[in-house]
Amino acid sequence: MTPKSPLFLPILFAKSYVFHITQVCSFPSEESTQLLKHRVVSLESARMSDFETQLKLTFLEEAQELLEGCEQSFMDLESESCNKSVLTKIFRLAHSFKGSAGAAGFEDLMHLAHHLESLLVKLTEGKLTVSPHIVSLLLRSNDQLRRMVSELRNDVTCRIPIQCWIDEIQMAEEYQELINSTPTESEKEAAAGANEPASLSHPGFEIFSDDSPTFSPKLAIAPTPAEKIPVHAAEESIRVNLRRIDSLVNDVGELVILQTTLYQYRTSIESPFIQKTIAHLEKITRQIQDTAMGLRLVSIKPTFQKMQRIVRDSAQALDKKIILETHGEETEIDKTVLDILADPLVHLIRNAVDHGIETCEDRIAAGKKPEGLVVLNAFNQGDKLIIEIRDDGKGLDTVKLLAKARAIGLVSATANPSLHEIYQLIFASGFSTKDAVTSLSGRGVGMDVVKTHIEQVKGTIDIQSEVGKGTTFRIILPLSMALIDGMIVRAGGQRYVIPITAVVESLQPREENLDFVTGRGYYLNLRGKTLPVYRLTEMFKSAEGPELTQSIAIVGQTAHGESFALIVEDIIGQQQIVVKALGPELQNVAGLTGAAILGDGRAALILDIAELVQGAARSHTSATRRLAS
């Protein structure tokens, strides 16, 4: 065998290993044999340890999803207590969680899940009835499992006490069984004279006081056989680290820039084959871009479902009756944006429950239904994602808001702020109109964090309210944080990018379609509508542009659906744009969402024209009010 043989090195290694062993001990003594066995066992243990650790981590990732599914099913159970399929689904989830926890070696999780499963079995068999107390116990036990999973993700070896939870579950089972076994009035009457009534001093009654929670009778649910789910019905998926997706999106962004640059020079290439190849490259690049961007998108549904629990618990704490309606649950949003929005949504929902919705007595006195309504809605509008939180409560009291702001020095006594400015006061740090501090609100902490988080993802929040009718919080977010289709325009000698989805249409104004109003400026008459006109050069205080009739009007809409015309000098073209982050000096400038490298290598600012126009309109209104005063 030659040194070049593929088997040479392994054999050489084996020989040297045997030689090393013989040097340690020239004959197979018991000591050397035990040493060798110990090394082999240690190696196998290390391998097994790595395998078990990976198994545990994999389970903990999946456990979060299982417990989220359980929580939503518990909420469904409360509203649909007679729905057998809901209980069947819950039992499957709990059984799956218990089995996976046991396989991963998490005995505490498995034991707690086992007792929950036993409770669910009694519910499905009709031995226990679904009640608010049982649902609350299920939800709190689910919360405990989630806390345990969270702690185990930090340290897979930690042990968490669970006996108190097991005791509570068992007591609830015994209490319900005792309630179910207590004879009804008719049964007592039928048995009258035959037997003496049971003494209340019986030991079985001692553990329950007069103020023990009562349970409204519900129809017992008969057990149903588990439905078999076809294998092909489940969607195949894999877990991918978000950093890998971000890396892919960044690489795709650079690919788009290179492809755009190449596409600009296609006309200077004489070869039809190369021109065709460049065109095909553009198509493939677009497909890769769409796929890469789609990897970051997740449904907003799980986040909306969590709000059901927030509303339920908050309403119970405040002794209110509130219904939560959700719409647009299938709307998709960037994963990073959704993670940042989670806390603001919780704050806004709690704010609606605490500040917005009145007590049952106050609602009845106002001629409303005793149950309050909170509506959570998500939808796409142009290049924006809109999330609305609406309630049918008492609305915002602007007089009280302004008085509080003046009392703490936020607004001077002589100032006359607009309605929009008054509403925005609630986002000031430490601002609260609550007279008493509760576990939910009253300290003025939270709403300022809401605005900070939303601005962190280049979003805005607006408020609409009517006294006695309710309040709507409207969160406006950019659809994409990385890649967009942009219209390149020129104004004041500079190039800017406007997202295509923000453009309704573009046209060249005619003199007969323009009207000038003193103190307000120009208006464009477009098919029976009157649109306010804004010059992009005036917004950036750059060089004066040409006459309106020699310019281009970009027609867009604000987040409230109000149309406007933005005047630019020219439209240069359209291309895919990779959104780059702005520097510190431009990050907080309203109306700027990022920067871009154009096909010719030059940089351009990406504009949020709706925010630019709204800012210009507010500035004009404030200036007019100052002149009038």
Residue 335 in contact with residue 370, Cβ under 8 Å? no
Does the pLDDT value for residue 229 go beyond 50?
Answer: no
Residue 581 in contact with residue 570, Cβ under 8 Å? no
pLDDT 10s digits, 332-346: 888 888 888 888 999
pTM: predicted TM-score of the whole model, two decimal places = 0.62
pLDDT 10s digits, 9-21: 333 334 444 434 3
φ/ψ (deg, to 5) at 266: -65, -35
Q: Running DSSP on this structure, what letter comes out for residue 354?
A: I
Burial of 71 (0-12, 13-18, 19+ CB in 10 A): buried
Residue 489 in contact with residue 572, Cβ under 8 Å? yes
Q: Which fold has domain 47-181?
A: Four Helix Bundle (Hemerythrin (Met), subunit A) (1.20.120)
Residue 533 in contact with residue 552, Cβ under 8 Å? no
Supply the CATH classification number for the domain 242-296: 1.10.287
Residue 89 CB partners (closer than 8 Å, separation 6+)? 73
Q: Mapping DSSP to helix (H, G, I), strand (E, B) and coil, where does residue 557 land?
A: strand
- Predicted local distance difference test score (pLDDT) of residue 320: 93
Q: Which of 232, 240, 253 is nearest to 298 (CA)?
A: 240
pLDDT band at 1 (very low <50, low <70, confident <90, very high): very low
> Which homologous superfamily does the CATH classification assign to the domain defined by 300-478?
Histidine kinase-like ATPase, C-terminal domain (3.30.565.10)
- Predicted local distance difference test score (pLDDT) of residue 480: 66
Amino acid at residue number 521: G
> d(Cα 522, Cα 534) in Å, to the nearest integer?
8
In the numeric block, which tokens belong to residue 1? 């065998």
Higher pLDDT pick, 379 / 167: 379
Q: Which of 112, 103, 109, 69 is nearest to 89 (CA)?
A: 69
pLDDT band at 395 (very low <50, low <70, confident <90, very high): very high
- Predicted local distance difference test score (pLDDT) of residue 177: 58
pLDDT 10s digits, 568-602: 999 998 887 878 878 878 877 888 888 888 877 78
Does the pLDDT value for residue 214 go beyond 50?
Answer: no
Q: Which fold has domain 483-628?
A: SH3 type barrels. (2.30.30)
Q: Which of 85-94, 317-326, 412-421 has the highest mean pLDDT?
A: 317-326
Q: Running DSSP on this structure, what letter comes out for residue 237?
A: -
Arithmetic mean of pLDDT over the chain: 77
φ/ψ (deg, to 5) at 373: -125, 130
- Match 């009007």 to its residue by tokens: 553
Burial of 537 (0-12, 13-18, 19+ CB in 10 A): buried
Name the percent of the chain lying above pLDDT 70: 76
